[in-house]
Amino acid sequence: MEDELYLENIDEFVTDQNRIVTYKWLSYTLGVHVNQAKQMLYDYVERKRKENSGAQLHVTYLVAGNLIQNGHICHKVAVVREDKLEAMKSKLATIASVHVYSIQKALLKDSGPLYNTDYDIVKTNLHNCSKFSAIHCAAAVPRTSAEVPQVQTSVQAGSQTPSDTNAVSVPVVNGHGPSTAKQTAQQPKGIMGMFAAKAASKPQDTNKETKAEAKEAPGVSAVSSKPPAKGNIMNNFFGKAAMNKLKVNSVPEQPKEEKEVVKPSVPVAEPESSPSPVVEKPGKKTESARIQQKDKKSKMKRMDKSDNEEERVPENLKKKRKRIKQLQSDSSDEEDVPPSPMPEEEKAPSPPPVPALKTELEPASTEVSAGGKKRKRKRVLKSKMFIDEEEGCMVTEKVYESESCTDSEDDFAKSKPPAAQKQPVLPMRKEPKEERKNLKKGAATANRANKQVSIMGFFQKK
Site for another protein in 145-174 (CB under 8 A): 147-148, 151-152, 155
Q: Which of 14, 114, 194, 251 forms a contact with another protein (CB under 8 A)?
A: 114
Q: Which of 106, 122, 279, 395 binds another protein (CB under 8 A)?
A: 122
The answer to the question of residue 405 lying near another protein (CB under 8 A) is no
Closest contact distance (angstroms) between CB of 304 and another protein is: 8
- Name which of 88 and 200 has its Cβ closer to another protein: 88
Out of 18, 52, 56, 97, the residue judged to bind another protein by CB under 8 A = 97
Q: Is 32 left (phi over 0), alpha (psi -120 to 50) or beta?
A: beta
Residue 111: phi, psi to the nearest 5? Answer: -85, 10
Which of 134, 303, 385, 394 binds another protein (CB under 8 A)? It is 134
197 contacts 263 by C-beta, under 8 angstroms: yes
How far apart, in whole angstroms, are the C-alpha atoms of residue 256 and residue 210? 11
**What is the total count of residues that contact another protein (CB under 8 A)?**
74
Which residue lies nearer to another protein by CB, 60 or 187? Answer: 60
| CB of 174 or CB of 415, closer to another protein | 174
What distance in Å separates the CA atoms of residue 270 and residue 149, rounded to the nearest whole number? 34
Based on CB atoms, which residue is closest to another protein, 95 or 395?
A: 95
Is the CB of 43 or the CB of 336 nearer to another protein? Answer: 43
Q: How far apart are CA 6 and CA 369, in angstroms?
A: 79
112 in contact with another protein (CB under 8 A): yes
Contact between 386 and another protein (CB under 8 A)? Answer: no
Q: Which stretch binds another protein (CB under 8 A): 132-140, 235-243, 342-350, 393-401?
A: 132-140
Q: Which span (13-21, 141-149, 203-211, 240-248) binds another protein, by CB under 8 A?
A: 141-149
Please select the residue that binds another protein; options are 26, 100, 194, 289, rule is CB under 8 A.
100
- Using CB under 8 A as the binding rule, whether residue 29 contacts another protein is answered as no
Contact call for residue 212 and another protein (CB under 8 A): no
CB of 46 to another protein, least distance (A): 8
Q: Is 38 in the site for another protein (CB under 8 A)?
A: yes
99 or 429: CB nearest another protein: 99
Cα–Cα distance for residue pair 198/37, rounded to 1 Å: 61
Measured from the Cβ of residue 246, the count of other Cβ atoms closer than 10 Å reads: 27
- Between 63 and 361, whose beta carbon lies closer to another protein? 63
Q: Which is nearer to another protein, 100 or 317 (CB)?
A: 100
Q: Closest distance between another protein and the C-beta of residue 73, in Å?
A: 6
Assign 322 to helix, strand or coil. helix
Q: What is the full DSSP assignment across 213-269?
A: -S-HHHHHS--SS-S-HHHHHHHHHIIIIIHHH---SS--SHHHHHHHHHTTHHHHH
- Judged by beta carbon, residue 111 or residue 249, the one nearer another protein is 111
- 36-50 burial code (b ≥16 CB/10 A, e <16): ebbbbbbebbeebee
Which range in 137-145, 218-226, 292-300, 412-420 contacts another protein by CB under 8 A? 137-145
The letter for the amino acid at 194 is M
The DSSP secondary structure of 39-96, one letter per residue, reads HHHHHHHHHHHHH-TT---EEEEEEEEEEEETTEEEEEEEEEEGGGHHHHHHH-SEEE
**Which residue of 12, 31, 52, 119 would you call a contact of another protein, by CB under 8 A?**
119
DSSP state of 457: G
Query: In the bound complex, what is the minimum distance in angstroms from residue 324's beta carbon to another protein?
Result: 31
Residues 433, 384 contacting (CB under 8 angstroms): no
Closer to another protein by CB, 230 or 302: give it: 302
Q: Is residue 419 near another protein by the rule CB under 8 A?
A: no
- Residues numbered 64-93 forming contacts with another protein, rule: CB under 8 A: 64-66, 72-81, 84, 87, 91
Burial 358-380 (b: 16+ CB within 10 A, else e): bebbbebbeebbeebbbbbbbbb
Per DSSP, the three-state class of 403 is strand
428 near another protein, judged by CB under 8 A = no
For helices 277-300 and 186-205, give the axis angle rounded to 10 degrees. 30
> Contact with another protein (CB under 8 A): which of 118, 253, 280, 411?
118
Q: Which is nearer to another protein, 122 or 419 (CB)?
A: 122
Among positions 50, 54, 143, 150, the unique one binding another protein when judged by CB under 8 A = 143
Q: Which of 11, 43, 345, 401 binds another protein (CB under 8 A)?
A: 43
Q: Are 321 and 262 in contact, with CB atoms under 8 Å apart?
A: yes
**Separation of alpha carbons 270 and 136, rounded Å:** 59
Question: Of 72 and 462, which CB lies nearer to another protein in the complex structure?
Answer: 72
- For residue 378, give the 3-state DSSP assignment: strand
